[in-house]
């Protein structure tokens, strides 16, 4: 069951925003070790705090949360479903299975200033994964500042999604357990953030699913981990994976978008053990794309020593190099071997490349 919920008594928002629900200086403990099985999502709806407004109009439930700790949950710490106007400050999540802060519905406006997520038993990431219409849309307006999600053996990647003309603004955050950024016809702006991949065998994280409006990273620090001992894997490890797919939005094929890295740094992070599988560790990997699907823009970025190569384009894609990009990785750019006439690769150089002392070659064809 849900511990504190508005589900069965939604706000009367037909004519105006509902009076604020205020939660301040509160700790909610879900006693996770006494609740039975949950890792197979057996209890995924058992949120500690579940808040929502009505879905049929333009007015929302106002929520003010400050100084709250949610911990030991078999599901979410705080779950915002639909039609909320939430201001959250100094939130702490510890060992919350589906996320310390989870948002799944449309028509939400959420501002977060100060979040700390951690845990050794299950973790407490941020999860914005929109799957319920509100007021006929999945639109959301999200601002997240000063949020840190620490990595742990069971902490899952932070998931940021916005759609229907919405936006997500992230500033001065650190997501150390992997991440997914997905623009579903919404814009995502990530500034001055520390972004790690997941140290382990979680597969396709971190990734940007390029399926809508632009995703822009400015002055961000990307760190690609190696693989833990005894967990060999077949996936290339990357600071970020650009997975361009339009399976849910065919019209986007005719409306090319950009993923932009502006003054970002890419480097390998220390791992527990070695990369047993022998796969390369790269800064950016572009996967499953074509030139017409949009651009990956790399502007004034730095790729550090220890990376096998800076950018992997073996599966195709359109890469635009702007400004001066410094390459200290062993290999600069790796592209695939394609038959004559195959134009899946398109590379535009609008600025110089500065090879570092560790660069063996700037371009390598293979794969």
pLDDT (tens digit per residue) in 196-226: 887 554 444 567 765 556 889 999 998 876 5
pLDDT bin (cut points 50, 70, 90) of residue 192 is very high
Residue 118 and residue 74: Cα distance in Å, rounded? 15
pLDDT bin (cut points 50, 70, 90) of residue 238 is low
Higher pLDDT, 130 or 287: 130
DSSP 134: B
Residue 18 and residue 14: Cα distance in Å, rounded? 9
pLDDT bin (cut points 50, 70, 90) of residue 70 is very high
| Percentage of the chain modeled with pLDDT above 90 | 44
Count of residues making up the chain: 367
Residue 262 and residue 242: Cα distance in Å, rounded? 15
Residue 96 CB burial class (10 angstroms; 0-12, 13-18, ≥19): buried
Q: What is the arithmetic mean of pLDDT over 267-278?
A: 56
Higher pLDDT, 65 or 271: 65
pLDDT of residue 153: 84
* DSSP assignment of 179-236: EEEEEESSEEEEES-EEE--SSS--S-SEEE--SS-EEEES-EEEEE-PPTT---SSP
Does the pLDDT of residue 271 top 60, yes or no? no
Nearest to 103 by CA among 72, 85, 78: 78
- The neighbouring-strand residues paired with 105 are 132
Residue 298 and residue 217: Cα distance in Å, rounded? 10
Vertex 305: Cα angle to 300 and 327 (nearest 5): 30
Task: Tell me how far the alpha carbon of residue 299 is from its chain's centroid.
Answer: 21
pLDDT (tens digit per residue) in 135-174: 888 889 999 999 999 998 889 889 998 878 899 999 999 9
Does the pLDDT of residue 298 top 80, yes or no? yes
Q: Is the peptide bond before 303 cis (omega within 30 degrees of 0)?
A: no
């Amino acid at each position: 069951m849900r511990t504190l919920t508005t589900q069965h008594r939604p706000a009367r928002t037909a004519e105006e925003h509902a009076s604020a629900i205020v939660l301040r200086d509160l700790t909610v403990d879900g006693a996770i070790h006494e609740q039975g099985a949950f890792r197979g999502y057996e209890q995924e709806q058992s949120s500690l705090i579940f808040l929502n407004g009505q879905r049929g109009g333009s007015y929302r439930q106002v929520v003010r949360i400050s100084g709250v700790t949610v911990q030991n949950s078999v599901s979410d710490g705080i779950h915002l479903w639909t039609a909320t106007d939430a201001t959250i400050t100094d939130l702490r999540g510890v060992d919350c299975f589906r996320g310390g802060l989870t948002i799944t519905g449309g028509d939400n406006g959420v501002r977060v200033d100060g979040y700390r997520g951690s845990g050794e038993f299950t973790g407490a990431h941020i999860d914005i994964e929109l799957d319920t219409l509100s007021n006929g849309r999945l639109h959301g307006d999200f601002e997240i500042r000063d949020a840190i999600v620490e990595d742990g053996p069971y902490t899952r990647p932070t998931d940021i999604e916005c759609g229907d003309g919405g936006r997500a603004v992230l500033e001065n955050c650190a997501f150390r357990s992997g991440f997914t950024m997905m623009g579903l016809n919404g814009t995502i702006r990530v500034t001055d953030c520390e972004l790690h991949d997941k140290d382990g065998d979680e597969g396709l994280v971190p990734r940007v699913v390029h399926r809508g409006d632009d995703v822009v990273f400015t002055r961000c620090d990307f760190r690609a981990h190696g693989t833990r001992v005894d967990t060999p894997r077949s996936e290339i490890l990357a600071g970020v994976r650009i997975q361009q797919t339009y399976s849910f939005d065919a019209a986007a094929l005719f409306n090319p978008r950009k993923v932009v890295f502006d003054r970002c740094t890419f480097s390998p992070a220390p791992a527990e053990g070695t990369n047993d599988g022998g796969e390369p560790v790269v800064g950016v990997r572009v996967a499953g794309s074509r030139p017409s699907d949009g651009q990956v823009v790399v502007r004034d970025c730095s790729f550090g020593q220890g990376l096998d190569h800076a950018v992997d384009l073996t599966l195709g894609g359109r890469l635009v190099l702007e400004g001066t990009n410094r390459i200290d990785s062993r290999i600069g750019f790796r592209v695939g071997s394609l038959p004559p006439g195959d134009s899946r690769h398109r590379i535009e150089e609008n600025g110089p490349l500065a090879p570092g002392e560790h660069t063996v070659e700037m371009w390598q064809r293979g794969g």
